[in-house]
Structure 1
Amino acid sequence: MNKIPLLILHAGALQHPMERFAREFRSLFPEVEVRLESAGSRACARKLLGGYQADIIALADPLLFDELLLPHPVQKYYIFATDQIVITHQTGARGSADINPQNWTQILLRDEVSFVRSDENLDPCGYRTLMVWQLAEKHYGVPGLYQQLNSKCTAAYVYPKSLDLGAVLQGREADYAFQYLCTAKQYGLDYVTLPEKINLSNPRWAGLYGHATVEVEGKTPGSKTILIGEPIEFAAAVPLNAPHPKEANEFLQLTLSHTGQRILEECGLVVY
């Protein structure tokens, strides 16, 4: 019997939980073959906008649904988890014996230290990293800090999606990366937590986060849009053109269930 193919298009940061969901779903619905495809969330959204057919789309920023995908090809979405930005590194990275939440800016700006981030035009972790740098400049009272960090992290140190950064660190191609806490835990990386006022984790500081803005590529070629800092959230939806809507909704319900919440927590995310 041919199995029903269920395609999940998802943010790279959700790779591990989606693999867990896929295994769980296959055990419940053996007639379904779950297929996973990952990219930066903005890249995922643009792919769907271009007519690509997926049964589920799960993104690292619900704003992408509002900005690019509603009311078509997505009618509604569900927010299911939160996270925070941390600085990840491998044991033995240059400066890792000294780095902490107070001095990380000085460590990263050392000549011998390198750090990476994801692309703000493809991946929410990329523009959130730039927002963290802007907020850090104000939080620590260091004029020009954002520009210093941005100038040092040249194009050679910018990758398509946040999930790529773990492999970069494991290959010792850079010392540090700006990633989600869930990705750090999934890769088993050491990490430095940042103050809540800059790590985009706490709705209490949403007004403060809103002082950070980043310009990214817009909905149409050549256009630009300004993104405003907000607490980090992850969201998922069943597109209107999903080839297998019944099975897709079953998968979405698993994601939102108690079992799904347990899986998300075990993968380092904070569930609603």
Structure 2
Amino acid sequence: MNMKCIHSYEGRTTFFILLISSLCCLFPIAIASFEEVEDETPFAYTEERGKGPKEWGQLDPHWKLCDTGKLQSPIDLLSGKRQVLPSLGKLKKNYKPAPAVAKNRGHDIMVRWEGDAGKMSINGTDYKLLECHWHSPSEHTFNGTRYQLELHMVHVSAHGELAVVAIVYKYGRPDSFLTRLFRRMKTMEHDEKTLGIFNPGDIKFGSRKYFRYIGSLTVPPCTEGVVWTIINKVRTVSRDQVKALRDAVHDGYETNVRPTQSLDGKRVLFYTPRVNSGSS
């Protein structure tokens, strides 16, 4: 099932493309400040533990953006206005196999590439692929609909700017990338497991259509200036695969999803190839 953009707005496309570029330039933050918290102990996803999402901004002075930020993620992608921009351009990705490790961070399962795993390009800027990880259920929603799983592919530019590609999944056929991961990992209880050469190109996008907006990390420190690209296609994952991801994380983190944040005037762009291109 594909998600379809509801509203179409024409004209001034160049302005909005420049807007994305200029917003990226406003956040030349060092790579270290973009890093997600590795140890989940300081925060939780359930409010009854006293460390839930509503309290993240008070738990550490470096996390205040979780409360005060105006570009926070995730969001509902079909709320408010969207600009449909065919001129936004096709996703330019060039991934390649590289040495990788899988790490159980307690609050999620991550695959981190230790070699050059390739890149994607946005508005002429190259972003190197660093890692991917999973949230269950999905963090981004679509008219309030939350899917069973969301994959985040985290990239960073030479100037420390972050770009994340997100793919959402519903129950159905097994996901081939997770199948390959589980073959390499007999158990996901280990803190870290060497995977050998692992190909990020095995992650299937399934559509050239995508949403884009400027947001934040979805875990502390909730750093802003993240260029989000959410693929329009809903892919499939098996119930057993989702269960394996949930069983592997620490107790209390089986549902590792931050609530959707206010749009606060965020401009959501939607790319679709022109009708005569024959692309999906």
TM-score range, shorter chain: under 0.3
TM-score w.r.t. structure 1 length? 0.24
TM-score w.r.t. structure 2 length? 0.23
